[in-house]
Amino acid sequence: MSTRTPLMAGNWKMNLNHLEAIAHVQKLAFALTDKDYEAVEVAVLPPFTDLRSVQTLVDGDKLKIKYGAQDLSAHDAGAYTGEISGSMLAKLKCAFVVIGHSERRQYHREDDALVNAKVKAAYRHELTPILCVGEGLEVRKAGNQVAHTLAQVDGALKDIPADQARGIVIAYEPVWAIGTGEVATLEDAQEVCGAIRGRLAELYGQEVADEVRIQYGGSVKSGNIAAIMAQPDVDGALVGGASLDAEEFVKIVRFGD
Ligand code: PEP
């Protein structure tokens, strides 16, 4: 039996302005109870422009909900127009930062070297990376999903020491299942999540591998979360579309109940 506390995180993507963000977090705060927070960790990942508002609400009302950003710069400061640094996110008391989401890899050509630099930037500012990995449809069809995903894990964790790696969250998100309504089968999800833990054990030893939380992401809903969470190497979910509906997200946090 795992002692890992599941992490249920809502990736809002480019949705909800700061006023909508406040209303949404208030709805979540109203619905979630101490019992929920005893069972799981809950986080929202709003757009950058919402973070200050979310911080004010969370701090002011002492909410137990955590929050983080969807990306960060690999640099700490300087002439990088449009970028947001890890120190800025830390100042807003972000707990998490998503790194290497497939939409950034696809639309912003982020490669493993940049993802690795961003993981290092996150650790410089004591932010917990939610590292996204996962294969596209072509790779899946060719049966290379494990090799492809483990290569992304290796690339992202290059030169990351064990004491940092033990705190990382890895989200396995098969790209063909994101926002498509296609959910990986339970065997598919467990196969790759199990392989990720195996690679962590090779890189850092079993003790570290057993500590790392591995999420599944890809069309998670209240109707499929229980079966997904029953997989031995799945320790939570990264939820996109369904996290924009507060009632649905709360059901997911409760594993569908
Ligand atoms: C995501 O954006 O990380 C994601 C998993 O999206 P969705 O749940 O909408 O498939």
Which residue is catalytic, options 41, 110, 135, 173? 173
Q: Which long-range contacts (CB under 8 A, 24 or more apart) does 111-118 make?
A: 111/155, 112/151, 112/152, 112/154, 112/155, 112/156, 112/158, 113/155, 114/74, 115/152, 115/155, 115/156, 116/155, 116/156, 116/157, 116/158, 116/159, 116/160, 117/74, 118/71, 118/72, 118/73, 118/74
Domains and CATH numbers, the chain: 7-253 (3.20.20.70)
What pLDDT, on the 0 to 100 scale, is given for residue 182?
83
Is 173 among the residues known to form the active site? yes
Q: Tell me, in angstroms, the distance from the centre of ligand 1 to residue 69's CA.
A: 15
Q: Is 11 annotated as a binding residue?
A: yes
Choose one of 12, 13, 98 to mutate for the ligand 1 pocket test, by most ligand atoms within 8 angstroms of C-beta: 13
- Ligand 1 site: residues with CB under 6 angstroms? 11, 13, 173, 178-179, 217-220, 238-242
Query: Pick the catalytic residue: 24, 101, 135, 248?
Result: 101
Q: Ligand 1: distance of its center to the CA of 217 in Å?
A: 6
Measure the CA–CA gap between 196 and 11, rounded to whole angstroms: 22
Instruction: Output the tens digit of pLDDT for each of the chain's 257 residues.
Output: 458 999 999 999 999 999 999 999 999 999 999 999 999 999 999 999 999 999 999 999 999 999 999 999 999 999 999 999 999 999 999 999 999 999 999 999 999 999 999 999 999 999 999 999 999 999 999 999 999 999 999 999 999 999 999 999 999 999 999 888 888 899 999 999 999 999 999 999 999 999 999 999 999 999 999 999 999 999 999 999 999 999 999 999 999 97
Most ligand 1 atoms within 8 A of CB, residue of 132, 239, 251 to mutate: 239
CA of 243 to the centre of ligand 1 (A): 9
| Per-residue pLDDT at 2 | 59
The complex's ipTM works out to 0.97
Q: How many residues belong to the chain? A: 257
CA-nearest residue for atom 7, ligand 1, is 240
The CA 170 to ligand 1 mean position distance, Å, reads 14
